[in-house]
Amino acid sequence: MIKSKINKKLIISLIIIAIISGGLFYFKDKIFKPAPKKIYEVAIMMRSQHNKDPKEDARTSLKKGDCLVTQKEGHNWSKTEKVSYLILKMNLTEEQAQKLSKSKTRKIKEKELSQEEQDRIKEEKKRAKDEKRDYMSEPREETLIAREYYIDFTKDEVLENLKANDLIKGQPLMDRVFDWKIVEKKK
């Protein structure tokens, strides 16, 4: 008798969990709305920039596949931009569009700053205290790499075979719309 009550409760619990799981799966797009996407035009580097200093190269040199800028669809690109950068139409969320042109940075701790900068901060803190106001420090960051994400040309056969000189003939892919699947995070 006790076992049958336990079995009934177990079966009822499993049925309830199954119903809830099915409902969540069925209504997930209504409950958890994905961020809206729209078409952006993205200027992509076709040649890598180089600097002799490896640290400076990582911080300031854009590499092949890096996004220079994202613009709304229909942007009026200059002739120079059209022959210098691959322009791709991409269906992205606003967050994805921002990530494409974002550098990878890290916060700099106050003790890592130069003595001159530390002294300036102390002076600003003292002045704020004397003026009876809060000291609002600016976040200090250093760029580690110029772009954190890049377009991986190997993820599409047409992209993979494209050369920088092909842009002289015109933008070859303006009739296609790509998505986040061709994007990779740099390691």
CB-CB contact of 42 with 100 (8 Å): yes
pLDDT at site 139? 74
Would you say 45 and 68 are in contact if contact means Cβ atoms under 8 Å apart?
yes
- Helix, strand or coil for residue 68? strand
The pLDDT of 95-116, averaged and rounded, is: 90
Domain residue extents for the chain: 1-33, 37-103+146-185, 107-142
- Other residues' Cβ atoms within 10 Å of the Cβ of residue 49: 13
Mean pLDDT of 146-152: 96
- For CA atoms 22, 27, 28, 31, the dihedral sign is negative
Instruction: State how far the Cα of 138 lies from the Cα of 164, in Å rounded to an integer.
Output: 40
The whole-model pTM stands at 0.71
Best CA proximity match to 67, nearest among 104, 101, 102: 101
Predicted confidence band of residue 27 (pLDDT cuts 50, 70, 90): low
The better pLDDT of the pair 155, 135 is held by 155
| Range 40-69 average pLDDT | 96
| pLDDT value, residue 13 | 80
Average pLDDT over residues 11-16: 82
**pLDDT-derived band at 74, boundaries 50, 70, 90:** very high
Higher pLDDT, 8 or 180: 180
Mean of pLDDT values over 94-106: 95
**How does residue 2 score in pLDDT terms, banded at 50, 70 and 90?**
low
How far apart are the C-alpha atoms of 44 and 101, rounded to whole Å?
A: 10
- CA distances 115 to 71, 112, 123, 124, Å, are 41, 9, 12, 14
Do the Cβ atoms of 93 and 35 come closer than 8 Å? yes
DSSP, collapsed to helix, strand or coil, labels residue 176 as coil
